[in-house]
Each structure stands twice: as structure tokens, then as C-alpha cells.
Structure 1
Amino acid sequence: MPAFRAAPIVAVFFAFACAAMAQNLPVHVDPGARDDVVDPAPVPALRFLTTADFPPFNYTDASGQLVGFHIDLAEAICARLEARCTVQAWPWDRVQDALAENQGDALIAGLDIGSEAAERFDFSRVYMQLPGRFVTPKAAVAGFDPLAMTGRLAVRTGSVHAELVARTLPDVELEGFDTEFEALAAVESGNADAYFGDAARASFWLNENPDCCSFAGEPYFRPDLFGAGLSVAVPAGLDNVRVAINWALMRLQREGRLDEIYLRWFPVSFY
């Protein structure tokens, strides 16, 4: 978990890195950046590793099929590179060792760039940042002001989002839940007045529960708390794979393919 420092509420909730981060679709590629020079021939195949327990990014559906944003993204990267592609799920507590032991060429599973993994692996460019967001019943969205909040706020127990609001919104009563989905369900049932937490999980839930609730206010980007963003991990020194993935991510962004995959899994945009 990232180090957490107390900060004034205004800085926490209203100081954004730049105005572009509040747009409706994620953009993490500089339109003016030059492409890396890539010869795809040295990367004829890519073996992606992931996990099956991180919906909506990578998980097993009711039919037992591995699906999610990361699965579609891995396949799109391979297609852009014209490389043969496999995606294999491992348990979370073993997947990093599997990558280090050459069981795969790349790990696409939401591994934290700022964690100890940075000492073991290299990382691609960031393809998505994960803001925090409030969710309220639809009737409460208009004029929502986090600074004026009172009542019960649902959070995932032990999350950085819970720590953040505990320090900065002293007038709310925190209701802790084991998962983001349980916290959101508490808002739907009326057992909480609002939710604050991971916006991607909330977006996935809102798409499945469109009638009760909606995002309220703006997305809050705090890389120091919520992480630097999502990227692909590769074994340290495997530069040909890392550079090829970077090239593919840039091309997919510019061609609109990343937006298509994003909206397929997050039709309720969290940006």
C-alpha cells in the first residue's frame, strides 16, 4: 500500500495533475510523441500471464472462460504486432514468480509499478490510471459537494480510499465492507448514503445496476495514493518485448482501439 500523508481536504479533492485527466476517455499517449522504432520480427509470439480474480480486468465468467479488459487488450497488442498470442491465468500469489521464471513474456494483471515488483521487472508505458470517485443515488447527484457531506459513506475496509476520507471528511460515518461491490450495494439498498473508492470497479457495478445510482462529482487522481496506473510488466532486461508493447499501446491509442476496448468493459466511463 502506498505511503499515506495527511493533506488539506481542498488539495485532496480538487488539485488535479492537469485538466486533461478529467476527460471522458483515458488518454495516456502524447499525440506529439515519436514512435519507437520497432521491428516486430524478434517478437513473433507473446505469452501473457494474468490472474482470474480481478473483475472487470481479468476474471473467469460463468462459462469458465477467461475474459476482461486485460484479456482483450493483450489480444489487441498481439494483433497489432502480428504476433501469436496466449493468455494464461495463474494464482495471484504465484504469477510474479511465474514471470520471473520465464513461464511467460509479460504480465498484464494490474501489478503496482510502485511495489517491490519494480525491483524484479520492467514496465511498459501506463495505459490507464485509476481515479477515486463518489457514487450516490441518482437523486443526490445534482449539486453534490463532498465538503458538505454528512451521513454514512461506504468504503472498502482497509483501502487507501477509506484512509483518505477518514482523514479528510470528519463529519461522515464510515461504513466498511469487504469489497467495493458490497459497499456499492449498500448505497443501492439505502444502508449507506454514498460510496467512495476505486472508480473502475464502481463503473463495472453501475453498468450492471443502472437504475439506482450514478457517479457524483469529479474523478480524483492521486497517483501518490491510488498508484501510478496500470502497465504491463516484463522480465527485467527483456527490452525487445517492452519496446514492442509500448509501440503497440501507442498505436492502439492513436487508432482508437484502446477506446473501443475501454468502452466495451466500461460503458459507464469513470473519467
Structure 2
Amino acid sequence: MRYIITNVAYFGRKIKSPWLLATALFLAPLVGATQAQTVMIPNFWDPKAQLERPEVPASRMIRFLVDDDFPPLHFPGLDGTPTGFSVELARAACERLGLTCTVQVRRFDTLLNALSEKQGDVVAAAIPVTAELRQRFAVTAPYFKIPARLVTKPAQTKDMPAFTAKLLQGKTIGVVEGTAHEAFARAFMRGSTLKPYPELTAAEAALKSGAVDYIFADGLSLALWVGGEDAGGCCAFAGGPYLESRFFGEGIGFIARAEDDALRRALDYALQQLWKEGKYAELYLRFFPISPF
């Protein structure tokens, strides 16, 4: 198995389209087929930082709260049980700490209120980390970020020249209007012509038809599209990842109540150990056969 581990550090919009779940489930069996390829696995932990494990009573049961509509981070499995990268990482963290945990599904917009009302102990869902969130809750360091990426033709990256910023000069780039990706492109891709679309699927169709030269959007959505049936093998990533936090956010982490900081620190410790021991990479390859990085 070949993979490249890279130190990168992001957050994207919540994905709410029905086809995405089908695509995520379709991709799950393909992990074995991609292991002979280069898969970019991000690393969000400083190897020089040695976290100490705080004491959390082994008798305590930790209740994780998740949403089930954001594959591949959290979604229902074939048997209806919650699964996904965030969910399985939460379970792995519990096992690493020797704790008993449950996973409970809530509607996305109710997760933080449910946590505040002590209906659960940790939110393991794709809620962006912000300064305001850290003021209200205890939040671990990010365990995942969603980079902005460019996608273009041809489908085979080996046929693509080494990417440079000059390649964007005079090119037409499809973006989703009103997004941070459009704002970033207007600020830093000034030699290009931007073509806004109301939704990403319209931009993807434009790239397939040749109406634009590139799409610039969140890498998670694009990775699922590039590897799915809708793309039909047309396209591939070029350049990036783009990780400017002022545009794309700080990432996502596990969220606990402010008074439960010992649990937050225990989860930070567990996440770092899971990275060092290879469990993070194992789960990443399982849920991201085409890496957004």
C-alpha cells in the first residue's frame, strides 16, 4: 500500500444532496482498488508535541452525538447504524482510552443545543471550529479539514503538466456563486475569468461539456464527484490544496462542554495516538479512496 502523508491544515459547506450518500456508499468498496495509487493523507498533529493522557474514569460512558446526513464523515450504514469517518474515529478514540461509548443521531441544527442540555457528551459532526465555538465549548484540535481544490481535464493526472499558477492565466474557472471559494478566486486568481453557477452540479456539468476550463470548490464534494459515476472519468485534481483559514475556516474537531475540559484533553491525546499508531490512516483510506487532499 502506497500513500503520501502530508502536513496540511480547513472547512467546507454542509453537503445536502441525496446523490452524495449513494456515491459515498458506492465508493466504500473501492478502497482496495485505490491502495496501489498515491493517496494523500493529511496530518494535523505536531510530531514534536507529546500530549499527556488526562484521567477520565473508566466507568464513565461517553455519549457521542452525530448527524447522519454528511457522508463520508457521518451517514447511516447499510444496516442503518451510524458510520463515517468522524463516527469511526470517535469509536476508535474511545477504544484507545478504554472507555465505553454510544453514538446517538440528532438533526444537525440541534447538536450543540443537545450537548448544552447534557443529552450527550461530545459532538462528532462537521461543525466548523470558530472563535465563538471555542468560547462556548471545549474543542479538540482539528482532526479533519476540507481543502479548496481545482478540478480540470484530462482525467489521467499523468497526462497533466506540472501545475503552476501561470496555467490559470486566461482560463475560465467555474465557481459556486456566493461561496468562500468564489471570494478566494476573485482575490487570488485575477488573471482568470470566473463563471459563477448557482450550484456545484451545474459547474461540474460545465466542466464536462468544456464550457469552463476548471472548477474551484470544496475538495470533499469534488473528490466524491471525480470518483463517482456522474463524472464518468472526465476529470482530475490540479493544484492545491488551498487551505487559507480566513476563507475556508479552521477545520472540525470533537466538541465537549466547557466544564468537561478533561474529556477534551483525553480526546486530543487519543487522536494524536491514533495518528501515530496508523489507525487514522486506516480509517482515512477506508472513507476517502480519493483524497480531497
With normalisation by structure 2, the TM-score equals 0.76
> Which 5+ residue runs of structure 1 have no aligned equivalent?
1-18
**Matched residue, 1:217:** 239
Give the letter for the 1:175 counterpart.
P
Aligned to 1:24: 40
1:167 aligns with 2:187: yes
One-letter amino acid of the counterpart of residue 212, structure 1:
C
Offset at residue 97 of structure 1 (A): 0.5
1:242 aligns with 2:258: no
Q: Is the 8 A contact 1:99 1:105 kept in 2?
A: yes
What's the offset of the Cα at 1:121? 0.7
1:154 and 1:61 map into 2 onto residues whose CA distance is 33
Q: Distance in 1 between matches of 2:135 and 2:56?
A: 27
1:70 alignment partner, one of 65, 71, 86: 86
Instruction: Look up the match of 1:108.
Output: 124
Asked if the contact 1:166–1:174 (Cα under 8 Å) also holds between the matched residues in 2, the reply is no
Separation (CA, whole Å) in 2 of partners of 1:92 and 1:39: 30
C-alpha separation in 2, matches of 1:109 and 1:130: 13
What SS does the aligned partner of 2:65 have?
strand
* CA distance in structure 1 between the partners assigned to 2:203 and 2:81 by the alignment: 27
Does the C-alpha gap of structure 1 residues 43 and 233 become closer, same or farther in structure 2, counting only changes over 3 Å? farther
Which secondary structure state, in structure 2, belongs to the residue aligned with residue 249 of structure 1? helix
Counterpart of 2:199 in structure 1 is: 178
Supply the RMSD in Å over aligned alpha carbons: 2.6
- Identity in percent: 32
User: What SS is found at the alignment partner of 1:217?
Assistant: strand
**Structure 1's 265 and 153: CA in aligned 2 closer, same or farther, altered over 3 A?**
same
Look up the match of 2:212.
Answer: 192
Query: The residue matched to 2:253 in structure 1 has which SS?
Result: coil
Kept in 2, the 8 Å contact 1:144–1:216? The answer is yes
1:119 to partner: Cα distance: 2.6
Match of 1:156 in 2: 176
How far the C-alpha of 1:138 sits from its partner, in A, is 2.1
Match of residue 73, structure 2, among 57, 79, 83? 57
Whether the aligned pair in 2 keeps the contact of 1:49 and 1:89 (CA below 8 Å) is yes
Instruction: Name the SS of the counterpart of 2:227 in structure 1.
Output: helix
Q: Within 2, Cα distance between the matches of 1:245 and 1:74?
A: 9
- CA deviations on 1:133-177 (whole Å, 9 max, x unpaired) are 111122683244444434442223321111111233343132323
Equivalent position SS for 1:122: strand
Q: Residue in 1 aligned with 2:32?
A: none
For 1:35 and 1:43, the matched residues in 2 are separated by: 23
* Alignment-derived partner of residue 46 in structure 1: 62
Residue 95 (1) aligns with residue 111 (2): yes
TM-score, normalised with respect to structure 1: 0.82
Q: Does the aligned pair in 2 maintain the 1:124–1:232 contact within 8 Å? A: yes
Structure 1 pair 159–40 and aligned structure 2 pair: CA distance change class (3 A): same
Q: Tell me if the contact between 2:147 and 2:248 (Cα under 8 Å) persists in the aligned partners.
A: yes
| Paired position in structure 1 for 2:53 | 37
2:29 maps to none
Query: How far apart are residue 63 of structure 1 and its match?
Result: 5.7
1:13 counterpart residue number: none
Question: Contact between 2:8 and 2:44, CA under 8 Å: does it hold in 1?
Answer: no
Q: Secondary structure at the match of 2:259?
A: coil
Write the distance in 1 (CA, Å) between the matches of 2:266 and 2:59. Answer: 8
The count of residues paired between Structure 1 and Structure 2 equals: 252
Distance 2:189 2:43 in 1: 30
Contact 1:100 1:235 (8 Å CA) reproduced: yes
- Write the distance in 2 (CA, Å) between the matches of 1:183 and 1:43: 51
Q: Contact (CA 8 Å) 1:106, 1:233: kept in 2 or not?
A: yes
For the residues of structure 1 that align with 2:59 and 2:41, how far apart are their CA atoms?
Answer: 30
